[in-house]
Amino acid sequence: MAEIPTIAEAAALIAARKLSPVELTRACLARIERLNGTLHAFIKVTPERALAEAKAAEAAIAAGGSKGPLHGIPIAHKDIFETKGLATTAHSKVLIDHVPQADAVAVAKLAEAGTVMLGKLATHEFAWGGPSFDLPFPPARNPWDPQRFTGGSSSGTGAAVAAGLALAGTGSDTGGSIRGPSHYCGVTGIKPTYGLVSRRGILPLAYSLDHAGPLAWTVEDCAILLQAMAGHDAQDPGSADVPLPDYRAALAGSLKGVRIGFVRQFHESGNPANDAVKSALEAALPVFRSLGAEVRDAELAPLADWHACGMLIMMCEAFTLHAPWLRTRPQDYGDYMRDRLRLAAFVSAADYIEAQRARRELCRQFAATMREFDLLISAVMPSEAPLIEEMGKWASFERPSLTFPYNVTGAPALALRCGFTAAGLPLGMQIVGRPFEESLVFRAGHAYERATSWASRRPALAN
Amino acid sequence: MPKPNISRESFAAMAATTGLKLSEAETRELYEAYGHVEAMVARLRGAKRPIAAEPAVVFKPER
């Protein structure tokens, strides 16, 4: 097969018996074979298992036992998602021999929905340390230009989806790790509301900020995937016991009268974006207006406040869980992760609690803003993907993150394409909603995606 | 990178409490980066919250 279908397209073809899950899986495996040596998106490929699962899916569907739109769809998992009997290393020497006894809840739910697992995907070390060249596996490369950074930490997922090595993949997001790779790699990813997807079986980075979600080619695909991944888990203390709407059905609604706030201050003064990003964001606003939405500027607390709050919480929680290994096996970490964790040792307990007090205050302010607006549009990154060699150890400390605010609030944030640079590199935007209002976030993203043509472009090497 | 306000000697004393084994060169590099932490901490400490302002993560006995 020459074209890379979306999940929705593949599911329709499979249902109509015009596409075989085995054929689809073989096509992904062939692309992995051709491109992974350049992209390093996968750190472990499981072709025999994938083909066996695809054949089982094909037989079940032929016998009238379709499980729905994900049945027979090849995906892969970020290597911090535990997989039963298959090493889950966090891209680190520290866990190089870690073979879990059970699947992460999100992995199990996606398997129950009928997905085919192609293997495990590259990440920054323990979802924070990267891009690093001193780990057991090389860092993933951007399919739009392999000299460039994929973003992180769901780096392999962004690269794999963009190049069509998998139709989708899992990601985690503590400060922007789903949305950054979505922006730089030109794919779509959602960080859902905190607690909507169980974190059980996902190696933690920061307990109170960790979110899990999917990355895929389109908004509709993300809606399909989140439907399968979400749900209450009594064994995850942060899990939310809320009813789940039909996300895919909600895509069809109108944006008429939807109030959208544009968080201009973040990318104009908080972390100034380059002209390409600013132009792409500005150009998105009339599209939303043409779809019936009301768009005006929204004001949130200064970006540096959000960043300080999120970063100090993340540092302390990450140091706490890594301290035993850091004290006894420091040589088993890559240089970036080891030193970022070591710096975190210098944040006091009082400052951690101060950050958590600030968090409550910032969340209250955010809730007040969200009484005026139904959605926010916000920048993801201040530029297109930089060269991977330029990403220094302290880069994420030097400029405040544009994505951290929505980890601090726990609100749903979708990242999707909103343009390309003159050189053909993708650019993204965030659509942010109130907690547990993923349906509206998806509806706005889907309407925008259908009104524009950005999703028709793939990296040249994927063709 | 913002220059740290803390002295190198005070930073070395803090380092000794972390339980980490750090060489002189490693301590020096962390000291240089510590200005980032100081800047973030200063933003939060300067906010003057009411004494009763609770953290976002609170204890709930039923969970």
For the cut 90, the answer to whether the pLDDT of residue A1 exceeds it is: no
For the cut 90, the answer to whether the pLDDT of residue A419 exceeds it is: yes
Give catalytic status of residue A153 as yes or no: yes
> Residue by residue, what is the 3-state secondary structure of A176-240?
CCCHHHHHHHCCEEEECCCCCECCCCECCCCCCCCEEEEEECCHHHHHHHHHHHECCCCCCCCCC
Q: Do A353 and B54 touch (CB under 8 A)?
A: no
d(CA A359, CA A349): 15
CB pairs A-B closer than 8 Å: 90
For the cut 80, the answer to whether the pLDDT of residue B62 exceeds it is: no
Q: Is B40 part of the contact surface with chain A (CB cutoff 8 Å)?
A: yes
Please state the rounded mean pLDDT for residues A11-35: 98
pLDDT tens-place string over residues A349-388: 999 999 999 999 999 999 999 999 999 999 999 999 999 9
CB-nearest to B37 from A327, A347, A358 is A347
Q: List residues of chain A with CB under 8 Å from any CB of chain B.
A: 208, 237, 304-305, 307-309, 311-312, 315, 323, 326-327, 330, 339, 342-343, 345-347, 351, 353-361, 363, 393-394, 397-398
d(CA A196, CA A173): 13
- Categorize the per-residue pLDDT at A227 as very low, low, confident or very high, splitting at 50, 70 and 90: very high
- Residue-level pLDDT at A260: 99
- Residue-level pLDDT at B1: 84
Buried b (16+ CB within 10 A) or exposed e, A362-371: bbeebeebbe
- Residue-level pLDDT at A204: 98
pLDDT tens-place string over residues A32-70: 999 999 999 999 999 999 999 999 999 999 999 999 999
ipTM: 0.97
Name chain B contacts of A342, Cβ cutoff 8 Å: 18, 20, 22, 26, 30
Please state the rounded mean pLDDT for residues A404-414: 98
pLDDT tens-place string over residues B7-34: 999 999 999 999 999 999 999 999 999 9
Mean pLDDT (chain A, rounded): 98
Please state the rounded mean pLDDT for residues B32-60: 94
The single residue of A92, A132, A154, A177 carrying the catalytic annotation is A177
The total of other beta-carbon atoms located within 10 Å of residue B23's CB is 8
- Residue-level pLDDT at A384: 98
- Residue-level pLDDT at A463: 87
Q: Do B20 and A345 touch (CB under 8 A)?
A: yes
pLDDT > 70 in chain A, percent: 100
Strands A168-173 and A375-379: unpaired
Give catalytic status of residue A208 as yes or no: no
Q: What is the DSSP letter of A170?
A: E
pLDDT tens-place string over residues A69-104: 999 999 999 999 999 999 999 999 999 999 999 999
pLDDT > 90 in chain A, percent: 99
Token output for A7: 């999940």
- Residue-level pLDDT at B63: 66
Mean pLDDT (chain B, rounded): 94
Q: Is the pTM of this model over 0.90?
A: yes
At which residue do the structure tokens 């109108």 appear? A254
Whether residue A223 contacts residue A248, with contact meaning beta carbons closer than 8 Å, is answered with: yes
- Categorize the per-residue pLDDT at A124 as very low, low, confident or very high, splitting at 50, 70 and 90: very high
Cα of A404 to nearest chain B Cα, Å? 14
d(CA A419, CA A186): 9
Q: How far from the centroid of its chain's Cα atoms is residue A410's Cα?
A: 14
Q: Is B60 part of the contact surface with chain A (CB cutoff 8 Å)?
A: no
Give catalytic status of residue A93 as yes or no: no
